[in-house]
């Protein structure tokens, strides 16, 4: 079974060039393909290339693609000692000591502005390229996992929808066995309609009689609707087991609408309680089928 769901999730993390990163890709239902990239400042230049990769792998769904970047915890000191300034302060303290002033404490010296200063955050071009290459590789891996996740969910959908198709086929068969659908029941019904027409005063013309009978035959005979239901069941089964599962969601949604149309017509034509009850049961199963079809890519 080869359906693909629009629901899925993937997470990949890694480390490169003194930084850590996390890709999180989340997919939910959507009418088309909508990609929402959430990238940290300074990484917007990656979006065009990554968007093209995602568009090549995904057909439908609302996809959130989130990147988190942080400095590695053991990437090295975040501050450095300004030894030149510290040497000046030590020389000045030695002069003060010679005049009888007490020696300064170490924490006092380190608290002097400029003695301890943050390391410049600028990175060289080599480190930047290394980190971007790691991000791209991580994204490709996350995209693979998202596709696998959606395929796994699609397999579950295929099993679920297959069970619903079995229910629809069984209900259509039950409807065929209903007394009201049998030819003798149809003949009795038509005979009653004919007797009612012949009893009208003034009597109806032959043309009018023929028209009324033709309309009644169309209204009472539900075998065409049942044949179409069977055909739709076969069409959906074919889509579920098709070799290429991408983009079949819209076809399934259309067929679900066709299912519903046949069930509505069946209920409107039914002239006994048993057939009406079967038609209503069909509508319930078809509604569930349509909900699931809307999850398919």
| Tens-place pLDDT, residues 226-257 | 999 999 999 999 998 875 667 789 999 999 99
Is the residue at 51 inside a domain? yes
Give the integer Cα–Cα distance in Å for 82 and 34.
51
Same domain, 106 and 136: no
Question: In this model, does residue 96 exceed pLDDT 80?
Answer: no
Q: Could you tell me the pLDDT band of residue 23, with boundaries at 50, 70 and 90?
A: very high
Q: Could you tell me the pLDDT band of residue 145, with boundaries at 50, 70 and 90?
A: very high
Give residue-wise pLDDT tens across range 125-135: 888 899 999 99
Is the residue at 195 inside a domain? yes
Q: What is the mean pLDDT of residues 9-32?
A: 94
Is the residue at 166 inside a domain? yes
Same domain, 57 and 181: no
Give the integer Cα–Cα distance in Å for 278 and 254.
23
Same domain, 161 and 221: yes
Which pLDDT score, from 0 to 100, does residue 189 have? 65
List the beta bridge partners of residue 21.
14, 69
Bigger pLDDT: 294 or 216?
294
Same domain, 43 and 163: no
Q: Could you tell me the pLDDT band of residue 37, with boundaries at 50, 70 and 90?
A: very high
Same domain, 41 and 90: no
Q: Which DSSP category does 202 fall into? A: S
Same domain, 103 and 210: no
Give the integer Cα–Cα distance in Å for 247 and 55.
13
Which pLDDT score, from 0 to 100, does residue 150 have? 95
Percent of the chain with pLDDT over 90: 51
Q: What is the mean pLDDT of residues 149-175?
A: 95
Same domain, 160 and 96: no
Give the integer Cα–Cα distance in Å for 25 and 8.
8
Which pLDDT score, from 0 to 100, does residue 108 have? 80
Lowest mean pLDDT among 101-110, 269-278, 280-289: 101-110
- The DSSP element (H or E) to which 221 belongs, if any, is none
Which residues, including other chains, have CB under 8 Å from residue 287's CB and lie 6 or more apart? 260
Q: What is the mean pLDDT of residues 63-80?
A: 79
Is the residue at 2 inside a domain? no
Same domain, 88 and 45: no
Q: Is 79 exposed, middle or buried (0-12, 13-18, 19+ CB in 10 A)?
A: exposed
Asked whether the beta carbons of 36 and 277 are under 8 A apart, the reply is no
Same domain, 44 and 101: no
Is the residue at 230 inside a domain? yes
Same domain, 109 and 167: no
Which pLDDT score, from 0 to 100, does residue 216 have? 57
List the beta bridge partners of residue 35.
63
Q: What is the mean pLDDT of residues 7-26?
A: 95
Same domain, 159 and 277: yes
Q: How many contiguous H segments (helices) and E segments (strands) does the chain have? A: 9, 6
Q: Which long-range contacts (CB under 8 A, 24 or more apart) does 178-183 make?
A: 178/272, 178/274, 178/275, 178/278, 179/272, 179/274, 180/270, 180/271, 180/272, 180/274, 180/275, 181/222, 181/223, 181/226, 181/275
Domain of residue 180 covers 152-293
Give the integer Cα–Cα distance in Å for 222 and 208.
23
Q: Could you tell me the pLDDT band of residue 63, with boundaries at 50, 70 and 90?
A: very high
Give the integer Cα–Cα distance in Å for 98 and 216.
122
Is the residue at 160 inside a domain? yes
Is the residue at 70 inside a domain? yes
- Give exposure, 176-202, as e/b (b: 16+ Cβ within 10 Å): eebebbeeeebeebeeebeeeeeeeee
Chain centroid to CA 82: how far?
55
Reduced to 3 states (helix: H, G, I; strand: E, B; else coil), residue 21 is strand
Same domain, 92 and 145: no
Give residue-wise pLDDT tens across range 183-233: 566 666 666 766 666 676 676 666 665 565 555 555 667 888 999 999 999
Is the residue at 1 inside a domain? no
Which pLDDT score, from 0 to 100, does residue 10 have? 98
Our count of domains for the chain comes to 3
């Amino acid at each position: 079974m080869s359906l693909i769901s629009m629901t899925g999730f993937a997470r990949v993390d890694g480390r490169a060039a003194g930084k850590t990163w996390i890709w999180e890709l989340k997919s939910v239902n959507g009418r088309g393909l909508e990609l929402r990239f959430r990238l940290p400042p300074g990484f917007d230049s990656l979006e065009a290339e990554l968007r093209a990769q995602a568009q090549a792998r995904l057909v439908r769904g609302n996809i959130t693609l989130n990147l988190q970047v942080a400095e590695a915890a053991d990437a090295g000191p975040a501050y450095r000692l300004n030894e030149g300034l510290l040497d000046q302060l030590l020389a000045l303290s030695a002069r003060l000591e010679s005049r009888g002033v007490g020696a300064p404490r170490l924490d006092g010296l380190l608290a002097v502005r400029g003695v301890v200063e943050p390391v410049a955050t600028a990175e060289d071009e080599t480190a930047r390229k290394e980190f971007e290459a790691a991000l791209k590789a991580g994204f490709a891996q996350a995209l693979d996992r998202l596709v696998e996740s959606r395929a796994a969910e699609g397999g579950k959908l295929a099993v679920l929808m297959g069970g619903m198709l079995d229910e629809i086929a069984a209900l259509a068969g039950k409807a065929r066995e209903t007394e009201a659908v049998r030819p003798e029941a149809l003949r009795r019904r038509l005979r009653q309609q004919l007797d009612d027409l012949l009893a009208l005063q003034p009597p109806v013309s032959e043309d009018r009689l023929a028209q009324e009978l033709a309309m009644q035959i169309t209204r009472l005979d539900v075998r065409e609707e049942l044949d179409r239901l069977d055909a739709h069941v076969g069409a959906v089964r074919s889509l579920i087991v098709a070799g290429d599962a991408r983009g079949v969601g819209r076809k399934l949604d259309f067929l679900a609408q066709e299912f519903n149309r046949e069930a509505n017509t069946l209920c409107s034509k039914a002239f006994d309680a048993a057939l009406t009850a079967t038609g209503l049961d069909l509508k319930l199963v078809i509604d569930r089928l349509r909900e699931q079809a809307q999850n398919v890519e």
